[in-house]
Structure 1
């Protein structure tokens, strides 16, 4: 019995020291858990998705991205039912993740001391902000807390925008809506607004896998946030998902045009295309190169794997 107790005490000690105290994944762990990504990385190990993909992602739809990921077996990457500052302002960026839990004094004391030893400044809800890079989106699991769950106000909002040029996705709440509205280019997807200050919450994970509603989020995921919801695209799927979504959008534009022209019936367009329609579509693309959001090389590579 004593040996069993000592064993579980050791396991608990290692758990506390490897996760809660460390607060973050090591670079080696980050690389291991995102090993399918073969591109560049930040110093902390997060995948560094090129800025060009962040811009292109703004023009794809949630449905197209969702469908492309489901085809790869990723079924838990979308979460809806958000309140936002600007409904007409899509937001894309690389996820920097944070996990919060209800405060437990003994654990929080250790976290605070560890943070001080690492040179972290201020309350723990400011630590993720200090880690932001340009193009990041601060994504936090605030366990849906509204009252006393306000992770930031307009002061921290200004710091977030200064560090990232972006906004936030919080499964929690914010305060100072009027002040945040005045930060040009900043947007927030949250569960609610409240005038209270953050209380009884502690930061238990920084740049670790987190849960946002029904979605699992990894640091470095591409975040696509639009009025209908937020979708998290694993870094190694970004090129494929964006190219496929762009192709589907082109296909839809062509199909809508030909339906308006009564050249094809809905039954012909809304099913597997015949060789004649495929040829017509590819000729239309050649005649409308200015509509291509991807390069001709990317399109050619994609068409090699397209099953129509």
Structure 2
């Protein structure tokens, strides 16, 4: 076989081996996973959706986000059936993912060696590794394959560390321990399967910032999550801006519709179906007189959006 061909094959094999042995996904691969995002990124490659959009996202209803994503052919972004530390809370943030598996000694040893090469702390448990890379506004999302007993991914110590780094909370398809201590962390929140006094054992971290499964949802690093008492929904970064403003306009349509129903200008049937040109025109006139101070977006953002719609 030609020497050049052999060298090429060897290079490919070396590259493949290096990639498969990583614990943390490389910035280049994260950029490939999120290639439709065109904005600013973190050093690790994750899309940096703005804090302003994250704040506005908190006012969006899960159903509105779900409907928008369905319309874009994203059918597997929602997961429910959670316990919530503070059920009245709403959390949004940029996702950092982690995957856990049942412990296997040979694989666990490889993870430890690889983590050391990636300059991670190999003295403590590897479940601290995702916490160490959290940035302000991040949400730690972990696939703990639903394990509760001996699968408690955090207690109050790690909860405090998570909040110190991210100013945010967690979504764990698994268990937590020391709920009383977690309740005392002001501003921290968490979505989890159940609590148990056991500590984490016979379970190992296998990847950071790789695609994971959370229940029926597929989650990528850099997704934006909206979490409230009604569930969690994971939104691809490149869809966030348009999802937010389209959902906000839906909210304005609702306010307009309720007002016109109270005025008895239209019937419920007229408002609750596809609007006629007359109602659409009335809505646009109503928007022009709606106070800027009450708009969830700027007037320019609203006008630019309406130019692309047939509302």
Q: TM-score, normalised by structure 2?
A: 0.92
Aligned to 1:286: 288
Q: Which moved more, 1:280-289 or 1:225-234?
A: 280-289
Q: Which residue in 1 is equivalent to 2:305?
A: 302
Q: Structure 1 residue 154 and structure 2 residue 172: aligned?
A: no
- Offset from partner CA, 1:39-88 (integer Å, 9 cap, x none): 00000000000000000000010011111111111111000000001111
Q: Separation in 2 of the partners of 1:46 and 1:119?
A: 20
In the alignment, which residue of structure 2 is the partner of 1:74? 74
How far has the Cα of 1:16 moved from its partner?
6.6
Q: Which runs of 4+ in 1 moved over 4 A?
A: 11-17
Distance 1:210 1:12 in 2: 25
Instruction: Name the SS for the 1:240 alignment partner.
Output: helix
Matched with 2:52 is 52
Which residue of the other structure, out of 172, 184, 187, is the alignment partner of 1:185? 187
Deviates more, 1:108-117 or 1:62-71: 108-117
Q: Within 2, Cα distance between the matches of 1:307 and 1:99?
A: 43
Residue 222 of structure 2 corresponds to 220
The equivalent residue for 1:8 is none
Which of 255, 260, 278 aligns to 1:276? It is 278
Matches within 5 A, 1:4-43: 17-19=18-20, 21-43=21-43
Distance 1:123 1:16, change over 3 A: farther
Q: 2:92, 2:197 → 1: CA distance?
A: 27
2:207 equivalent in structure 1? 205
Aligned equivalents of 1:35 and 1:79: distance in 2?
24
Offset, 1:275: 2.1
Q: Judge which range, 245-254 or 272-281, deviates more.
A: 272-281
> What's the counterpart of residue 136 of structure 2?
134
**Relative to structure 2, which stretch is displaced further, 158-167 or 288-297?**
288-297
Q: CA deviation at 1:286?
A: 2.0
Shift of 1:116: 2.2
Gap runs ≥5 in structure 2:
1-11
> Greater CA deviation, 263-272 or 150-159?
263-272
Q: Higher mean Cα deviation, 124-133 or 266-275?
A: 266-275
| CA deviation vs aligned residue, 1:147-184 (integer Å, no higher than 9, x gap) | 01100000000000000000000000100101000111
**Residue 5 of structure 1 aligns with which residue?**
none
CA distances 1:251-287 after superposition (whole Å, capped 9, x unpaired):
0111112112211101110111122212221222222
Whole-Å Cα distance in 1 between the matches of residues 169 and 247 of structure 2?
24
TM superposition shift of 1:31: 0.9
Cα distance in 2 between the residues matched to 1:137 and 1:47: 13
1:234-253 matches, cutoff 5 A: 234-253=236-255
* Structure-2 residue corresponding to 1:165: 167
Mean Cα displacement is larger for which, 275-284 or 237-246? 275-284
Alignment RMSD, CA only? 1.6
Unaligned runs of 5+ in 1: 1-10
* Equivalent residue pairs, number: 297
Partner SS, residue 172 of structure 1:
strand
Give the match's secondary structure for 2:52.
helix
- Please say which of residues 246-255 and 109-118 is displaced more in the overlay: 109-118
Deviates more, 1:284-293 or 1:94-103: 284-293
Secondary structure at the residue paired with 1:152?
coil
Mapped to 2, the partners of 1:115 and 1:152 lie a distance apart of: 20
Residue 284 to residue 290, structure 1, CA distance change in 2 (3 Å): farther
